[in-house]
Every structure is written in structure tokens, then in C-alpha cells.
């Protein structure tokens, strides 16, 4: 039923998408909880096609802007470049593409007719609720969102500090979703104003996606009273500009990402001394390494491997925290099960203590309803159907999955939306929902790694720590276009490579002989091993049986569209019409910037240009064809130059058989950089063609 989600919710269908869905995913895409087609949008960015990149991103991610700031980017951790040099900077690229497509984004917002005649109430407007709302509104359901806060977004709006997530980003995402025509009731507390059962009576189905909005506290002496705060109320005060009261020496208990948010926010409130204490060692801390690094840069100290024992007070005033040495945090099975040496203790001075040791669901939402809660206070649900104990009341997001990332909540929201949709269609949901796991291509073999050119990741600039910890302003700069294009060019296109049609292949071995990475393995027919394939495309145009196609950026679209690309020709034209197959690896800022008489066919690499593509251009009346690639030094693939040169020689021979001058086809080389290298090399070629008479009698 994976196709069910695809069919309903995916709106972007690039060339070759069908074949892509049947293939193992690239590691980045498999790792993304929402299976964002990372490689596709990075490839589009590399070609300067930012609006299309935006389409790919938002096809599965309704909070794309938010994720472009705060996503923990499992795609990067999975990137196969990790084992070569550094992972691709996917999140920065996402932000870049979204920033560049803003106008397009605004223009495409549309109201959707409520054609289904059924309404759905969604309780909670965090990532899961928003994802479900968008999915269901997009296919014609009447959606009402109920949110307890005065604004939409759940924890995104109410807890994530603005230095990490500027609220304008959240607003863009919300505006996209609300444009579909969704009713919103804010400051609406389900469980107080109305029970879930009453809400169910108003709608055909209800989806509860309330997340984990309460902080857990500690059961230690001295915790009650002034000077000890909980994380979520503290962050809510910051988010809503209430300026929480803290002293001059704040101690944060916890080692997760929320603890980092709290500590770094405290610094930004002007607190001179902020320290943290956690059970875990630096390696064991659940917070992301970059969060920890940035916090340390901002002058926050971390006390590792101490467990809280008591809050020491002088009368009411907090003096600090008594702690006990931690021996271990996890047991042999890797479960959280800390052990302590109570003989070793310590005292950490502080006048304010903020507890950030985890969150839990605000079960008030279930008050007075028929939805069952188990003896441990957790809502009863079925993972197979997303349904609670009450038919028609569904659950999604962290309220059922436990704490996780925003994008994981989005993925869960999609799944729940499908469950609701199937339920409202009268289907038995059981067994119809997709599982998260997808087959992915495996690690790059060492023999291939050795052949991949090294290119360092383009670093993003941050405000310096001194400046940034004085303000809640966002501190990370975005890529310039030049940097983004360079970084996008680092993608190896994993999984976007060659596929053999076994019905056409006659095992001639050509692909095996051509491939610089030993990807094809030919037995009864050729199989191109995706873990080896670098998606250069050298093999496809060489296949004598035309059995090979490329999963991403197959160039056959140019052959099919060549007539349209060239357009109608004036027989008395003075300027020659030249088709230029241009490698997009060095597209450069502002595109190729060539004169109008050039008809540009951007290609992932010139290795993909077939003799037939060039012939097609002449068939359609082109005066000349330029194949424009990188310089050999800058090409990110192996062996392209020699192979394409041989191809161009062959086409020149074929043309000369028709008395067409050989030099009407040229292999040109350029690399982006200063000036406009393309207009220079292409201009020279145009001059050659201009001086010729028409090759037609």
C-alpha cells in the first residue's frame, strides 16, 4: 500500500518517477522519516531549477521551511559521502531552495474545494496535525484544527526558541496549509470546552495529534518552590515574549536537545553563568553534537555523569544542586537504567534550576471521553490503524510514538491521514498502511570510493558566539547561490543511476566495458549494481540494444522534445540556431547566460548525451550542436572526456557522409567561475557556424 500514499499525496512527477519508486531508495531518502526525495531536489538545485526543487521538498513535507531551519537531517547522517569526505549539506540546500522559490510558492497557494462531503477535526497543530490537515484538505475533506495555544504550530510555535526557528519560516508553512481552506480554532482546549466524544459527534472523524506538551519533573528534595522551573513553561514564556524570571546562575538538568534549547535561551536572556548537568558522558548525550558544540561556543559548561540528588535551599532561595556520581546510564541491553555511586557526591551552585528531563502528554485532552488510557497513563491505540479505543477517533505523532523529530511526526501524520481517509471510505484500515522501512542501496564499495573525487563541504557561516548569545535572532546565514550550486554538485546521485531492461538486454558486455566504476555485472543479462553506480550516465548512450535508462535526469526527454526546444525556424535567419547540451555541474550563478540563438538542453553530465540526441537536433533543423562539459579536472565523474570525444568523432563521421561539415558538432569545455566561460566558448562556436552556408541544398 506504499503506492496508496504516493497516489494520494505526491503531487510532483518528474521524468522517470515511476521507475524510481520501484528501485531501492538512496540512503538519504530512506533515512528521512517522510522519505523526502533528497537526491532529486538537490539535483534540481544543481541545475538552477529552484521552483521544481521546492515542489519535490514539499511533496512530502508540509513544514519545509521549518525543517530547513531545525531538521536534525538524518539524510546527512546517512549520506554516502560520509565515508568519502563529508556529507552533503542537505538542510542548508533545502533552505536555499525554499528561499529562492518564495515568489513561486506564494503564487501557487490554492483553495481546495471540499468535495468529499465529510469533515474531520484535528486536535493539535504540531507537525503531525499539520501534515494530516494538509493531506486530508488536499483531497477534499473539510478540516477544522483545534489548538490550545493562541497560535498554530504546536511546540514549533510554543517551545522552539526563535534563535533556532524564526517565526516567519513557520508562518510560510502555515500559510501554505491554511490556503487550502482549513478552519482554525485557537485557544481551544479539548477536554475542557468540549470532550473528544462531543467533538467526534461534530465531525465524521477526529484525529488527536497533541504531542507531548508537559515537562516531566524530578522527585527529589527541594524541587518544590521558587527558583526551580520546568522546561516547557520556560520555553513557552520565551516563545510568547513573556520574559521568564531567572537569576544570574542558571543550571539546566538534562542532556537532550530541549536542554540545549533551554540553556542557550537562558544565555540569550542575559544570564552570565549557564551550566548543564546530565547523567550521560559527552558521547552518550542524546543532544545532537552540533547543538552541544554551539552551546559550548556560547560559554555554556556541561557537567557530565552526575545525577540530581537534591535542590539545596537557604530558606526559600535556591543555592544549587546536590549530585551523585553516575556509574552507568544504560544497561547491557542498551536500555536507560542509570546506576550511581552514592558515596561520590558533588554540589553545583546555581540560583535557578531548570528541569529538562523529558516530556509527557497533557492527558486533559482525553478527560471525560470514552478514549481509554492505560494504567501507566498512556493512550490506548492500534499502530496498524492509528485508531484509539473509540471508533472514528484517531491518534498521530508524539502522543503515540513518544519523543522524536519534527519530520518523524510529519511522517506519522501522513500515515494517520491515510488511515482516516481509508476509514472514511469504509475500508478496513488494518494491513493497508505503509511501513516506514524502505529498501535502500547499500554502502559504497571501497573500490568505488577510491575513484570518487574529493570535494569539501561548503561551510555555512554563523554569527560569532559573542554576538549571537545576546539575541534571540537566528544565527545561521544561508548559502549564496554560488555556494549552493557548488554544494549541490557534490551529490553523487545515489540510486539515480542506470537501470537495465532485461527484456532488451542481450548481455553484449558494452556497459561493463564502458563503466568506470565496475557497476554492471553481466550474466544472463546485465544488472547494474546500484551501490556501485555513480549515476554518471556513460553507459546508457553506448548500449546497442537501448536497454539502459537512467533513473534520474534521463536525457531522452530532450530527444522527445527537441522540436519544441528548437521551435519554428526562419529559413532566412542570420543567426544560426545552435543546440547546446550543457553540463549543469557548473551552471554558475544566473544560469548559462547564452544568447537567444542557443537552445539549451541542460544535462546532468555530458556523458549522457547520445549520438541520437545530436542527430535529432539536426533532424529538427539545428545549424550546429555543441556538447559543453566540464574541464577534465573539474568533472566529478571518471572517463567522461575521452568517451564523449569518441562519440563526437563518430557523429562527425556520420554527418560527413551526408556532406555536412564535421565542425557543426563540437565538444566544448568550460568551468564556471569568474567571468562567463560559457558565453566565451559557445560564442566562438557560434561564429564558426555563422560563417557557413546552410547544409540543406
Partner 1 sequence: MIVGKQKPIEEIWHMVRDFKRVLVFGCNTCVAVCHAGGGKEAETIASLLKIRASQEGLDMEIDHSSVMRHCEPEYLTPVIDGLRRYDLVLSTACGVGVNFLSERIGNIPVYPGINTSFYGAVPEAGLFVELCAGCGNCILHLTGGICPIARCSKTLMNGPCGGTNRGKCEVSDDIDCAWYLIVERMKQLGTLDRLTEIQPPRDWSTARDGGPRRVSVEHIRAYEEAQTAKEGGKA
Residue carrying C-alpha cell 549494481: 529
Among 543, 565, 583, 670, binds partner 1 (CB under 8 A): 543
Compare residues 78 and 660 and give the one whose CB is closer to partner 1: 660
For residue 470, give the C-alpha cell. 545576546
Residues 85-104 touching partner 1, rule: CB under 8 A, are none
Determine the length of the chain: 697
DSSP code of 607? G
284: Cβ contacts below 8 Å, ≥ 6 apart: 255, 329, 330
411/146 Cα distance (integer angstroms):
20
Write the interaction track for partner 1 spanning residues 483-512; mark x where CB under 8 A is met and - where it is not. Answer: ---------------------x-x-xxx--
Among 214, 269, 296, 615, binds partner 1 (CB under 8 A): 615
Compare residues 363 and 546 and give the one whose CB is closer to partner 1: 546
Stretch that binds partner 1, among 13-21, 121-129, 193-201, 538-546 (CB under 8 A): 538-546
522 lies in the site for partner 1, by CB under 8 A = no
Stretch that binds partner 1, among 215-223, 433-441, 478-486, 657-665 (CB under 8 A): 657-665
647/637 Cα distance (integer angstroms):
17
317 lies in the site for partner 1, by CB under 8 A = no
Cβ density class 336-353: b for 16+ within 10 Å, e for less: eeeebeeeeeeebebbbb
Which one, of 162, 127, 153, lies nearest residue 238 by Cα?
Answer: 162
Among 224, 331, 464, 619, binds partner 1 (CB under 8 A): 619
- Minimum CB separation of residue 536 from partner 1 in Å reads 18
Residue carrying C-alpha cell 546506576: 339
Find how far residue 492's CA is from the centre of its chain. 16
Total Cβ atoms within 10 A of residue 223: 18
- Minimum CB separation of residue 529 from partner 1 in Å reads 20
Among 77, 546, 557, 679, binds partner 1 (CB under 8 A): 546
Cβ density class 120-129: b for 16+ within 10 Å, e for less: bbbbbbbbbb
Compare residues 103 and 659 and give the one whose CB is closer to partner 1: 659
524 lies in the site for partner 1, by CB under 8 A = no
- Minimum CB separation of residue 16 from partner 1 in Å reads 19
Total Cβ atoms within 10 A of residue 24: 16
- Minimum CB separation of residue 661 from partner 1 in Å reads 13
Write the interaction track for partner 1 spanning residues 593-612; mark x where CB under 8 A is met and - where it is not. Answer: ------------------xx
Among 654, 661, 669, 692, binds partner 1 (CB under 8 A): 654
658 lies in the site for partner 1, by CB under 8 A = yes
525 lies in the site for partner 1, by CB under 8 A = no
- Minimum CB separation of residue 522 from partner 1 in Å reads 12
Stretch that binds partner 1, among 109-117, 418-426, 542-550, 599-607 (CB under 8 A): 542-550
Residue carrying C-alpha cell 544565527: 475
110/504 Cα distance (integer angstroms):
44
Compare residues 111 and 504 and give the one whose CB is closer to partner 1: 504
189/147 Cα distance (integer angstroms):
7
34/57 Cα distance (integer angstroms):
10
- Terminal-residue alpha carbon distance, the chain: 59
* Binding residues for partner 1 (CB under 8 A): 504, 506, 508-510, 513, 543-546, 611-612, 615-616, 618-619, 654, 657-660, 695-697
Amino acid at each position: 500500500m506504499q503506492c496508496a500514499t504516493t497516489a494520494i499525496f505526491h503531487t510532483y512527477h518528474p521524468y522517470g518517477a515511476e521507475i524510481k519508486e520501484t528501485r531501492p531508495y538512496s540512503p538519504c531518502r530512506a533515512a528521512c522519516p517522510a522519505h523526502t526525495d533528497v537526491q532529486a531536489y538537490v539535483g534540481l538545485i544543481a541545475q538552477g531549477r529552484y521552483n521544481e526543487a521546492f515542489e519535490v521538498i514539499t511533496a512530502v513535507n508540509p513544514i519545509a521551511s521549518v525543517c530547513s531551519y531545525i531538521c536534525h537531517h538524518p539524510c546527512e547522517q546517512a549520506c554516502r559521502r560520509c565515508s568519502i569526505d563529508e556529507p552533503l549539506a542537505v538542510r542548508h540546500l533545502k533552505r536555499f531552495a525554499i528561499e529562492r522559490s518564495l515568489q513561486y510558492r506564494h503564487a501557487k497557494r490554492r483553495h481546495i474545494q471540499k468535495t468529499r462531503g465529510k469533515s474531520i477535526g484535528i486536535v493539535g497543530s504540531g507537525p503531525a496535525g499539520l501534515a494530516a490537515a494538509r493531506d486530508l484538505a488536499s483531497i477534499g475533506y473539510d478540516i477544522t484544527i483545534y489548538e490550545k495555544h493562541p497560535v498554530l504550530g504546536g511546540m514549533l510555535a510554543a517551545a522552539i526558541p526563535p534563535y533556532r526557528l524564526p517565526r516567519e519560516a513557520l508562518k510560510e508553512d502555515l500559510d501554505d496549509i491554511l490556503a487550502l481552506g482549513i478552519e482554525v480554532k485557537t485557544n481551544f482546549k479539548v477536554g475542557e470546552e468540549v470532550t473528544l466524544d462531543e467533538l467526534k459527534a461534530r465531525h465524521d472523524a477526529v484525529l488527536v495529534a497533541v504531542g507531548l506538551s508537559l515537562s516531566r519533573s524530578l522527585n527529589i528534595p527541594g524541587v518544590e518552590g521558587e527558583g526551580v522551573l520546568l522546561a516547557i513553561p520556560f520555553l513557552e514564556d520565551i516563545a510568547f515574549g513573556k520574559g521568564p524570571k531567572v537569576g544570574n546562575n542558571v543550571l539546566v538538568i538534562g542532556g537532550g536537545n530541549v536542554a540545549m534549547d533551554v540553556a542557550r535561551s537562558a544565555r540569550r536572556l542575559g544570564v552570565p553563568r549557564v551550566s548543564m548537568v546530565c547523567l550521560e558522558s559527552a558521547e552518550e548525550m542524546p543532544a545532537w553534537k552540533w547543538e552541544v558544540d554551539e552551546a559550548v561556543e556560547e560559554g555554556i559548561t556541561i557537567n557530565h555523569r552526575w545525577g540530581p540528588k537534591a535542590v539545596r535551599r537557604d530558606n526559600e532561595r535556591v543555592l544549587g544542586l546536590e549530585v551523585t556520581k553516575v556509574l552507568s546510564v544504560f544497561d547491557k541491553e542498551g536500555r536507560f537504567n542509570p546506576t550511581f555511586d552514592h558515596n561520590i557526591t558533588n554540589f553545583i551552585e546555581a540560583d535557578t534550576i531548570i528541569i529538562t528531563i523529558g516530556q509527557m502528554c497533557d492527558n486533559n485532552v482525553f478527560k471525560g471521553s470514552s478514549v481509554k488510557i492505560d494504567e501507566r497513563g498512556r493512550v490506548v491505540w492500534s499502530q496498524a490503524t492509528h485508531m484509539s479505543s473509540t471508533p472514528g477517533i484517531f491518534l498521530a505523532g508524539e502522543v503515540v510514538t513518544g519523543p522524536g523529530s519534527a519530520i518523524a511526526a510529519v511522517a506519522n501524520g501522513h500515515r494517520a491521514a491515510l488511515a482516516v481517509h481509508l476509514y472514511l471510505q469504509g475500508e478496513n484500515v488494518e494491513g493497508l498502511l505503509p511501513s516506514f522501512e524502505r529498501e535502500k542501496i547499500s554502502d559504497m564499495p571501497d573500490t568505488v570510493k577510491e575513484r570518487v573525487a574529493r570535494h569539501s563541504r561548503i561551510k555555512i557561516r554563523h554569527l560569532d558566539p559573542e554576538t549571537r548569545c545576546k539575541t534571540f535572532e537566528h544565527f545561521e546565514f544561508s548559502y549564496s547561490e554560488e555556494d549552493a550550486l557548488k554544494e549541490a554538485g557534490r551529490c553523487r546521485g545515489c540510486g539515480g543511476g542506470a537501470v537495465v531492461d532485461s527484456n532488451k538486454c542481450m548481455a553484449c558486455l558494452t556497459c561493463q566495458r564502458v563503466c568506470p566504476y565496475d557497476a554492471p555485472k553481466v550474466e544472463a543479462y546485465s544488472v547494474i549494481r546500484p551501490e556501485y553506480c555513480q549515476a554518471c550516465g556513460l553507459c546508457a548512450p553506448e548500449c546497442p540494444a537501448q536497454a539502459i535508462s537512467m533513473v534520474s535526469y534521463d536525457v531522452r526527454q530532450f530527444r522527445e522534445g527537441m522540436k519544441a526546444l528548437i521551435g519554428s525556424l526562419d529559413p532566412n535567419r542570420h543567426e544560426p540556431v545552435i543546440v547546446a547540451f550543457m553540463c549543469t555541474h557548473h551552471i554558475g550563478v544566473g544560469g548559462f547566460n547564452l544568447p537567444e540563438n542557443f537552445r539549451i538542453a541542460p544535462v546532468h553530465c555530458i556523458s549522457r548525451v547520445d549520438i541520437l540526441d545530436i542527430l535529432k537536433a539536426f533532424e529538427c533543423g539545428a545549424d550546429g550542436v555543441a556538447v559543453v562539459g566540464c574541464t577534465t579536472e573539474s568533472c566529478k565523474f571518471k572517463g567522461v572526456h575521452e568517451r564523449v570525444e569518441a562519440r563526437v568523432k563518430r557523429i562527425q563521421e556520420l554527418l560527413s557522409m551526408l556532406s555536412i561539415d564535421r565542425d557543426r558538432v563540437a565538444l566544448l569545455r568550460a568551468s564556471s567561475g569568474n567571468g562567463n566561460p560559457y558565453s566565451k566558448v559557445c560564442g566562438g562556436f557560434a561564429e564558426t557556424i555563422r560563417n557557413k552556408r546552410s547544409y540543406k541544398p
